[in-house]
Structure 1
């Protein structure tokens, strides 16, 4: 399976999960709008989700995978199994020690870290659903206690997923997150059908998150056993391999969770304004679709590929892999960013505007989405640049970059929130993302760890041109379809109008890319040929 096919496998599975995520958010928006229960659920879910990203995209994928791959390549499967067992046992103990105190002291965590804004009493008339300040704080604590064990389940999922990725079994780990969305969709459909009030729905969704975490762990464990590998739980022992993992894992966890750190900081600040947390969350979902499909796919596939090439001394292959990965990332990300920036309101209206989600809410969420779109290429490039450090077992430099970016995001969020409210937080997140990406690239380029070839420079310039021209096509078509994308046009007409806009944008962009040579036609042809061969073998 070539590199682009692996990206497509992981990206396709992630796309399915993101589509289910859209359905989940649509139902949730209709049922809860941007009221206090929605804010409480989003605040509570962000905390374990932050740590999940630390372990999944940080420690496990970025520190565990290179060491596990190294053991597998140099010492064989028995040594790799022993190393995995050490890590599994140690991780289980640490997670238990973290989860129990967190549940006990959750009121303190909510008051000081998760949602300090809930300490500030507000005008109840500003809320869509009347809850006292004390009630808002109480349900946020309750939801957080129910969902926090999700962290433990997902951290173990991340480790098992790392084993599958090292074996180049990418699909199961990429598809597992869809279970969360399937479970929550089931909960929402049941609650809406049964006529549950918003508070009961919030509790049902919180329990659904926990159930989904267990289901995902079962799924990847079964996939690991089908791959012929297993781990056991035993008394943790302090070994040199485990020590090396921890040295790499701490900085890697911080680096891998940079996007979630920025979003978490933004939500903590946004908790001072009722509804702002939910506005940021709803805007984040469309923005996460291309980021997840492209960025996660590249991050998952690129690291083991780079690690194997560097461990084998194939430096030219490593450089080629890095350059082509950046090309592929920009090829798919730039048009998505342009489209989200130009037509955010029609997109948000189709996805969310029904039930408790009003036209005024659509305008607020669309404004945030347009600003998020400005940072989309940067956050995808971060996923391309960080494996260049992790594959070389260097976590110190990207950690320093991440800390600088997170610091800048916090300062900008606080400053801009009082000027632009939730839009200021979105702008701070995008600016911090660009700072992070530029510093990571500079660190690789200045030490000759990333040699930019002529093809990359040429294609990047052409991709920027093609994306800009595609944006021009959208701007020309929007006045012609203006009556079709207005709130009173009907959902069917709006969907048709958006379909026309998207089809025209996609057709113009891909045509321009192939005509100008911005797309690597040979690589795409090889991928399509490989997929046809696999389809023929499976028939």
Structure 2
């Protein structure tokens, strides 16, 4: 690293280049795809070693609690509050004040996280009882979950600081590094399952240690890149700092506004803990598959547009703001519709190909497939929420999303109670999907009413083209796919080969149909 790069003020680096939204989304999507593929490998390893038994249920709860808080706090409320404020400082203030904001946020955030982590580690049995009350009737499972939670909870501290570093890098259009960082989590957990678990008295505890190690690796990986920007924090606790106060003010309602889907998923876990053993694991495996397209495309687009929308709002560029939101919704539909359709049509083949090894039984495949279909119903809604919520947060409006979030959470609980008896764990997944649609529709209506999003010309033609391409996709997939029982009888290699044919054939058919209908890459180029 040259002395010139070290000495360059943050603002000069920030304006060096401004890649287009399509290119930036592609970079984030590619890095996220690598992470999600490794995540599936990780889950295949976990399934092979631990199946869907009591130990796996215990770990998934112990991991879900800090992971839920990470999404709710670090990647949810904090990121949505921090990035707009940082963007505003960049647009309107000097480099010194930007660095001061970074230092103050690092110190103030770190102190709060440290306190929360220590309290949670001491109170892990209580947290387990709150988040998985159904485990109270199973003493060994309850004790194992509490023990693992003491190890996994510090992950929240480490990954929240990682999200803070990633927010800075994203604000300066350095998207690749934060998007690649989750790869380290997957590698760490895979290594723990394969190498560490045979050495431990309770093998599943190895996964908890893998999570803790991953948190440290992800944080330290990003620090050199902050140093290159001249923004490596020197933590300073200052809750009276104007930027810190503004972030805290925005964060409180944002806790609900952007993370309602995560709260709903956690409620699923709480209720699933009362169902038969395996229910938590079935929901986990199906949720992981539905998150692949959500992470690769929905979150990638949301990551890219938030800094862009924040800068356009700060520069009072309303027309470009509206056009960017419209671009994001079109891009989400382009991928979200076929992804949802494919998950519904290929639920058993996907679960079988990825998870049906070792301790995973035929029944586990069937039960996981039902919840996967239910999650797939709401996949497009989850993706739309990811790109519509930044339309509010970029304008530093957190009141509207929180009102919508509360409505969606209440609706989710009503749907849960109505569907859990007839559909068991799949009813919980379907309730989450239905509440996500309610959330997404209300966000869309709010943006239209406020004039923040105005539809651009050509929507009817675009929807007709998508309908045609998705019909072609469905026909090709149904024509190529073998019946579900045949997949269970295949070897692992045969499943992989058949799935490659299905995925490749479906993707080629879909994009050829789009091209025949007149959709072109240039339609999605926007700076």
Secondary structure of the corresponding residue to residue 269 of structure 2 = helix
Match of 2:100 among 59, 63, 82: 82
Question: Residues 36-435 of structure 1: matches in 2 within 5 Å?
Answer: 36-111=54-129, 113-119=130-136, 121=137, 133-191=138-196, 194=198, 200-273=202-275, 274-435=277-438
Cα pair 2:351 2:365 within 8 Å, conserved: yes
Cα pair 1:346 1:498 within 8 Å, conserved: yes
Partner of 1:125: none
2:477 & 2:143 partners in 1: Cα distance?
Answer: 46
Cα pair 1:375 1:431 within 8 Å, conserved: yes
Question: Residues 475-494 of structure 1: matches in 2 within 5 Å?
Answer: 475-478=478-481, 481-482=482-483, 485-494=486-495
Q: What is the CA distance between 1:36 and its match in structure 2?
A: 0.5
Q: What is the CA distance between 1:236 and its match in structure 2?
A: 2.5
Partner of 2:521: 521
Cα pair 1:462 1:516 within 8 Å, conserved: yes
2:484 & 2:326 partners in 1: Cα distance?
Answer: 44
Partner of 2:513: 512
Measured against aligned partners, the alpha-carbon deviations of 1:82-103 in whole angstroms (never above 9, x if no partner) come to 1111111111111122111111
1:19 & 1:501 partners in 2: Cα distance?
Answer: 17
Measured against aligned partners, the alpha-carbon deviations of 1:299-356 in whole angstroms (never above 9, x if no partner) come to 1111110111121122222121111111111111111110110011011101011110
Instruction: Give the total of aligned pairs.
Output: 508
Measured against aligned partners, the alpha-carbon deviations of 1:202-256 in whole angstroms (never above 9, x if no partner) come to 2111011011101111011222112232211223241332221111111223223
Q: What is the CA distance between 1:191 and its match in structure 2?
A: 4.3
1:483 & 1:62 partners in 2: Cα distance?
Answer: 42
1:456 & 1:91 partners in 2: Cα distance?
Answer: 43
Tell me the TM-score normalised to structure 1 length: 0.91
Cα pair 1:55 1:158 within 8 Å, conserved: no
Partner of 2:503: 502
Secondary structure of the corresponding residue to residue 97 of structure 1 = helix
Measured against aligned partners, the alpha-carbon deviations of 1:176-202 in whole angstroms (never above 9, x if no partner) come to 11111000011112146x4x57x6222
Cα pair 1:287 1:372 within 8 Å, conserved: yes
2:395 & 2:484 partners in 1: Cα distance?
Answer: 55
Note closer, same or farther for the CA distance 1:183–1:43 as it changes in structure 2 (3 Å cut).
same
Tell me the TM-score normalised to structure 2 length: 0.93
Partner of 1:472: 475
2:289 & 2:76 partners in 1: Cα distance?
Answer: 23
Gaps of 5+ in 2: 1-18
Gaps of 5+ in 1: 122-132, 531-539
Cα pair 2:48 2:355 within 8 Å, conserved: yes
Worse-superposed segment, 175-184 or 252-261: 252-261
Q: What is the CA distance between 1:495 and its match in structure 2?
A: 1.9
Q: What is the CA distance between 1:507 and its match in structure 2?
A: 1.3
Q: What is the CA distance between 1:433 and its match in structure 2?
A: 0.7
Q: What is the CA distance between 1:139 and its match in structure 2?
A: 0.4
Matched, 1:32 2:50: yes
1:157 & 1:27 partners in 2: Cα distance?
Answer: 26
Partner of 1:12: 30
Q: What is the CA distance between 1:476 and its match in structure 2?
A: 2.6
1:54 & 1:245 partners in 2: Cα distance?
Answer: 15
2:252 & 2:84 partners in 1: Cα distance?
Answer: 15
Cα pair 2:349 2:484 within 8 Å, conserved: no
Aligned Cα RMSD in Å?
1.8
